Amino acid sequence: MTTMSDPQQGSFRLSMLLNDTRYRSYTFQFIALLLLIALMAFLGINLVRNLAEAGLNISYSFLYVPAGYDINQTLIDYNSQSTNLRAAVVGILNTLLVAFLACITATVLGVIAGVARLSKNWLVSKMMSVYVEIFRNIPVLIWILMIYTLMTAVLPAPNAFRGDNATSSMLLDAFAFTNRGIYIPAPVWGPGSMIVVATFVLSIIAAIIYRKYAVSLLFRTGKLLPTGWPTLAILLVPTILVFFVMGSPVGLDYPALKGFNFQGGLQIGAPLIALWLALSVYTGAFIAENVRAGIQAVSKGQTEAAASLGLRPKRIMNLVVLPQALRVIIPPLISQYLNITKNSSLAIAVGYADITATLGGITLNQTGRAIECVLLLMLFYLTISLSISAIMNVYNNSVSLKER
């Protein structure tokens, strides 16, 4: 033994597990792992015992039995005889719908408010700070409930539109604002409408190609082509021409008061509007702060340098300030989108049928399958968040400063 070159081999003592930094890390990890396994086992054994005691089991077969309840706002066909699984899918689509709508409006609101907050107009910038502070500092649940109350208590009931001495009337005979929701004309797709849609899609592609061409022409020859009006023309003219050539195949279905409610048209229910508006104004206030911080993060020297190169203010904004500000703005913006998706679970407070209200609410109540429902619910949100985080990582890598 004494001839061996590694002296550690013989002199390993048990106390080195604690005192030697080489082994200590293993000790700690081992202990952590043991604790984790013990905790899991504790919870698992309890679960099995509790379920056995209550005579319950874990089973997902409830997903395939008829749900038995109706949902008022669905994007796909659904009735009370559809399965619980389909009800959950309806909920998922509704969650995605309200999240998508709220992301768009929150971004628009946030960008406007963020830019306006930096405006030199004292009144406007102060008003925007008041907006940001008020909406950021009051819980979103209170906003949702307040806007829902506003919808139901202030807007007129469909009844008010009835009769000769109606107290309310439809806007342009096409839009009805009632406390059950807003009714707008819905497009009716007649024969040949696909051609119109196809034309429109083609014009969008053509417009993109034109803009690319304008940029490459600018880089090659320095010639500046106008982009604004030609793009609009490419987008609209062919579509309108085809629309009339085909004999107006796309019509509009106007809502009209029949029976108890407005029938026809497209109904956007009051819960959806309340949730959508509340999430937009609430998150918009946060986005406004992100936008402001992003723009302020671009140092003044950049603007001045661009100006001294002779760029006009609009081009300074487009070519110098925005690309740099976006790098700062977009990561927090995406996490705000994530927040919107998660906050949309508060739909349950106003009865909008999102995934929390269908799977985690009514299905859970009616079947009593609490563990299964909550598990599926968490899985859904986890999938969404992890995919958005993945997208964000890809984006961050693509915009990270390429140092040479």
Partner 1 sequence: MSDTHAASVPYVRESMLPQVEPPATAKGPVKWVHQSLFSSIPYTILTLVALYVIFVILSGFLPWLLGGVWNTGNIRECREVLDGAQGGCFSVLTDRWNQLLFGIAYPQDGYWRPTMAFILLFVAAAPVLFGSVPRQLLIVTVLYPFLAFWLIWGGSILVPLAALLSFAIGYVVYSRLVKSSFAGGLFGGIAVGVVVWFVAGLMTSNLTDVLALEEVASRNMGGFMLNMILGVICVSLSLPLGIVLALGRQSNLPIIRLICVVFIEFIRGVPLITLLFVANVVLAYFLPPGTNFDLILRVIIMITMFASAYIAEVIRGGLAALPRGQYEAADSLGLDYAQAMRLIILPQALKISIPGIVNVAVGLFKDTTLVSIISMFDLVGMIRGPILASTDWNGVYWELWGFAALLFFVVCYGISQYSQWLERQLQTDHH
Partner 2 sequence: MNKSVFFGALTVAGLTAGAAAASTLDDVKARGKLNCGVTTGLVGFAAPNANGEWEGFDVAVCRAVAAAIFADPNAVEFIPTTGKTRFTALASGEIDFLARNTTWTFSRDVDLKFDFIGVNYYDGQGFMVPKALGVSSAKDLDGATVCIQTGTTTELNLADFFRANNISYEPVPIETNAEGQQQYLAGACDTYTTDASGLAATRATFETPGDHIILPEIISKEPLGPLVRHGDNDWGDLTRWVLYALIAAEELGVTSANVEEMATNTTNPEVARLLGAEGTLGEMLGLDAGWAKNAIASQGNYGEIFAKNIGEETPIGLARGLNAQWTDGGLMYAPPFR
Sign for the pseudo-dihedral over CA of 381, 385, 390, 392:
positive
Q: How far is the CB of 252 from partner 1 (least distance, A)?
A: 32
Q: How far is the CB of 274 from partner 2 (least distance, A)?
A: 11
- Chain residues 132-171 in contact with partner 1, contact rule CB under 8 A: 133-134, 136-142, 145-146, 149, 153
What tokens appear for 147 in the block? Answer: 């806007």
- Rounded CA-CA distance 248/228 in Å is 27
Nearer to partner 2, 12 or 42 (CB): 42
Q: Reduced to 3 states, what is the DSSP secondary structure of residue 400? A: coil
Residue 41 sits in the site that holds partner 1 (CB under 8 A)? no
The interface region with partner 2, picked from 124-132, 156-164, 220-228, 392-400 by CB under 8 A, is: 156-164
Nearer to partner 1, 124 or 206 (CB): 124
Strand stretches in 333-379, DSSP E: none
Q: How far is the CB of 214 from partner 1 (least distance, A)?
A: 28
Contact with partner 2 (CB under 8 A) among 70, 133, 173, 304: 70
Residue 33 sits in the site that holds partner 1 (CB under 8 A)? yes
187-199 burial, b if ≥16 CB within 10 A, otherwise e?
A: eeeeeebeebeeb
Q: How many CA atoms lie within 13 A of 286 on its CB side?
A: 22
Nearer to partner 1, 142 or 166 (CB): 142
Q: How far is the CB of 400 from partner 1 (least distance, A)?
A: 15
Nearer to partner 2, 74 or 239 (CB): 74
Residue 385 sits in the site that holds partner 1 (CB under 8 A)? yes
Residue of 283, 318, 255, 310 whose CA lies nearest to 107 = 283
Residue 14 sits in the site that holds partner 1 (CB under 8 A)? no
Nearer to partner 1, 152 or 261 (CB): 152
Strand stretches in 142-225, DSSP E: 176-178, 181-184, 186-189
| End-to-end Cα distance, the chain | 55
Residue of 241, 337, 329, 264 whose CA lies nearest to 293 = 329
Position 197, amino acid: V
What does 56-86 look like in DSSP terms, one character per residue? -----GGGGSB-----SS-SS---TTSBHHH
Residue that has been written with the tokens 């139901």 in this structure: 152
51 is in the binding site of which of partner 2, partner 1, none (Cβ under 5 to 8 A by kind)? partner 1
Residue of 140, 77, 69, 85 whose CA lies nearest to 284 = 140
Nearer to partner 2, 307 or 374 (CB): 374
Contact with partner 1 (CB under 8 A) among 122, 219, 229, 244: 122
Assess contact for 101 and 118: CB atoms under 8 A: no
Position 166, amino acid: A
- Rounded CA-CA distance 151/133 in Å is 23
Assess contact for 192 and 252: CB atoms under 8 A: no
Q: Is 108 left (phi over 0), alpha (psi -120 to 50) or beta?
A: alpha
Assess contact for 235 and 204: CB atoms under 8 A: yes
- Rounded CA-CA distance 96/354 in Å is 8
Residue 234 sits in the site that holds partner 1 (CB under 8 A)? no
Q: How far is the CB of 349 from partner 2 (least distance, A)?
A: 7
Contact with partner 2 (CB under 8 A) among 16, 27, 69, 186: 69
Contact with partner 2 (CB under 8 A) among 9, 15, 21, 55: 55
Residue 263 sits in the site that holds partner 2 (CB under 8 A)? yes
Residue 255 sits in the site that holds partner 2 (CB under 8 A)? no
Contact with partner 2 (CB under 8 A) among 258, 378, 382, 386: 258
- Rounded CA-CA distance 293/289 in Å is 6
Residue 396 sits in the site that holds partner 2 (CB under 8 A)? no
The interface region with partner 1, picked from 97-105, 204-212, 326-334, 372-380 by CB under 8 A, is: 372-380
- Site residues (CB under 8 A) for partner 1? 21, 25, 28-29, 32-33, 36, 43, 46-47, 49-51, 53, 119-124, 127, 133-134, 136-142, 145-146, 149, 153, 342-343, 345-346, 348-349, 356, 360, 364, 370-371, 374, 377-378, 381-382, 384-386, 389
Q: Which residues bind partner 2 (CB under 8 A)?
A: 53-56, 68-72, 79-81, 149, 152-153, 156-160, 179-180, 258-261, 263, 270-271, 348-349, 351, 353, 357, 361-362, 364-366, 368, 370
